[in-house]
Amino acid sequence: MRELGTLYRAILLSITLNILMAGLPGLSSAQGLPPVPVPPENPITEEKRVLGKILFWEEQLSSDNTVACGTCHRLDTAGGGDPRLNYNPGSDGIFGTEDDVYGSRGIRHYDADGTPVDDPLYGHEPRVTRRNAQPFITAAWAEDNFWDGRASGTFRDPLTNEILIPTGGGLESQAMGPIMDDIEMAFEGRTWDAVTTKLADVTPLALAADLPPDVAAVLGPGVSYGDLFTAAFGDPEITPARLAFALATYERTLVPDQTPWDLYTAGDPDALTQQQQSGLGIFMAFNCRVCHAPPYFTDSSFRNDGLRPIAEDTGRQEVTGLPEDAGKFKVPSLRNVGLKPFLMHTGRFTSLDSVLHFYGTPAIQNLENQDPLLPVVIPVPARPTLIEFLANGLTDPRVAAGEFPFDRPTLASEMGASAVPDAHPLDGPERLAAVAYPNPFNPRTTISFDLTEPTQVRVAVYSAHGRVVKVLADDWREAGPQQLTWNGRNDQGKSVASGVYFYRVVAGDRQAKGRLILVR
């Protein structure tokens, strides 16, 4: 049997290589990525690009300073597929069942005032999205974005609803969603005024480290977001539409056109290895190219591949309301697919081999409204060769290595809890500057802040689960410097364990929040 399998593999690969060399429809005339379509209403400029890059990696764009666009859309994972292991319990609301989703971790649940909420599913841990983060690299060529296409190519001003880009503004539309989503980046009821006011107050990328050269070059001492918006738009006004324009401009400059396939198509016969060339032949011969059409390796259509029952997630139908769109999701690009840790809109699979097995096995597919192209049966002996083409032949080495323009800073969330400055402003009522020192601490730390007028003051320390540990002050105080010391004990006088805690200062209409690290 082993000899027959080896013979079959050799015959199959020989056939596919011959098909490749002879040429298939569309293969001999294949060309690389065309120029990125740019709406005339938002032309690309260098100042706007670098502002967009800064904003994309800005954790302060979230209400609690823990999530940036790039947190979930890591470039070294193909611009999607959050590498952190994050579970969403799916439609049944129960963890550990068949409908669980590997989504993307957002922020903890907060109410509109920034007070932690005990979430029924996640408690005081960050909540998780119901779909896996979709790769955004190559999204510039799509009219509508997100898995369900709800980010329309018609971009409207989030404040006035005026049409700013009639067509081709899918990236601008998409950029606005996560910032206001209370699972991904926002306190409940977040307003655009809260977003723009906060950005006007903070130091750009104050939480990040290892800034890329192009970013570091514009972030000199004292540079504010107002300065960056002036360079990009002519004046310092920060608006949601300008945020969208800058973010979309940055994304349009991330063109992954240096894969071995691109070089091979451009005339370098050695850019693809022999195995990868055979894998390309298999890719074309078994009609993978219908949905994942070169050069984008997607046709940006919406299809139901039968991954999960429609009742769990109706997909595109949520946007269009059309019965024929039930269970359909956007076809993702296969460029850089070898870098993705989780595959499909549910993140269900962690290997390309698992995906190929699923597509070729009707018994494990859900047939309701399934695309007629399925199943797609790739013979088992051919799979390693096809996977070699997909995983390596379609990977741009600059994306994998984090080289310009795919370079990025190191985020505070990647450096540990102590990397986030405890005095950094959050969304909510008018902010108050406060600082805790030392931090980390043992046995005590002092929280300091200034009052500009006499007012009622409450200062409390909370556990990571949002429970009050110690009330340090709840009284009327005169204007001037204030200092309150916490000795690591609770309201009952008992020592608390090492770990992360939070403090909150409420002084009249102003407040400050921060993180404390107790080390025993």
Token pair listed for 154 = 């018609």
- The pLDDT value given to residue 466: 66
> pTM of this prediction?
0.79
Look at residues 195, 175, 192 and name the one whose alpha carbon lies nearest to residue 64: 195
Token pair listed for 422 = 């405890």
- The pLDDT value given to residue 375: 95
Look at residues 183, 188, 163, 186 and name the one whose alpha carbon lies nearest to residue 173: 163
- The pLDDT value given to residue 463: 82
- The pLDDT value given to residue 465: 61
Q: Which CATH superfamily is domain 46-256 in?
A: Cytochrome c-like domain (1.10.760.10)
Whole-Å CA distances, 287 to 24, 235, 360, 362, 368: 11, 51, 13, 17, 22
- All residues at 6 or more sequence positions from 86 whose CB lies less than 8 Å from its CB, including other chains: 102, 103, 104, 105, 128, 129
CATH topology of domain 429-518: Immunoglobulin-like (2.60.40)
Instruction: Give the CATH number of domain 2-35+261-401; options: 1.20.1600.10, 2.60.40.3950, 3.40.50.300, 1.10.760.10.
Output: 1.10.760.10
Residues of the chain with CATH 1.10.760.10: 2-35+261-401, 46-256
| Contact criterion met (CB below 8 Å) for 400 and 411 | no
- The pLDDT value given to residue 81: 61
Look at residues 437, 470, 435 and name the one whose alpha carbon lies nearest to residue 450: 435
Look at residues 481, 462, 484 and name the one whose alpha carbon lies nearest to residue 473: 484
Q: Which residues of the chain fall below pLDDT 70?
A: 1-30, 79-85, 416-431, 464-466
- The pLDDT value given to residue 464: 66
274-331 per-position pLDDT tens digit: 999 999 999 999 989 999 999 999 999 999 999 999 999 999 999 999 999 999 999 9
Token pair listed for 519 = 């080390």
Residues of the chain with CATH 2.60.40.4070: 429-518
171-226 per-position pLDDT tens digit: 999 999 999 999 999 999 999 999 999 999 999 999 999 999 999 999 988 999 99
- The pLDDT value given to residue 6: 47
- The pLDDT value given to residue 95: 87
- The pLDDT value given to residue 26: 45
